[in-house]
Amino acid sequence: MGLALKILIPKKMAKKPILQNKKKQIRNMRQSAAVYPDGTRESHKMAWDGDPTKRRGDFKVFPTVAPKPGKEKSTNPSDWKSQTLSEAQQRGEVINVKSRRKAEKLSAGSWKKGEDKKEAMKAYRQYKKTKPKS
């Protein structure tokens, strides 16, 4: 007769890997980035969609730029185009989240790593401070 062992994981710990998974999913969406003459790079330029008056609900985060068909590995900015939510859905690049705040932060750059993430989150916090209350 075997001994059954049940491990209880607190809710906070159980949810974190799921969000990490979403961040990893975003990072793995692109194989390259558009490189502009001034040295800046752009591969995702994320946005979010959902009811901005609700805190909880069905929110979608998606990239607003995408490489043109057949140009997936190109770094030339002219090989990249704008992308709508429906185009992102067709490409399978939509991330669903249940919180407006998570959607805002993911679209602002919380999925990035290192110095890029630090800069993105600093800009996000500054935006939140100066944004007029509605």
Tell me what the mean pLDDT of segment 53-79 comes to.
87
For the chain, give every domain's residue range.
24-129
pLDDT in tens, 26-49: 888 877 777 778 877 777 788 999
Question: Rounded distance, CA 37 to CA 48, Å?
Answer: 28
Average pLDDT, the chain: 82
The model's pTM: 0.76
Question: Rounded distance, CA 109 to CA 23, Å?
Answer: 9
For residue 46, the cross-strand partners are 63
DSSP code at position 39: S
Question: Rounded distance, CA 36 to CA 32, Å?
Answer: 13
* Segments of the chain assigned E as strands: 34-35, 41-42, 46-49, 56-63, 65-67, 80-82, 95-99
The contacts of residue 77 (CB under 8 Å, 6+ apart) are 34, 35, 36, 42
pLDDT in tens, 77-111: 888 888 899 998 998 889 999 999 999 999 998 88
Q: What is the largest CA-CA distance in the chain?
A: 69
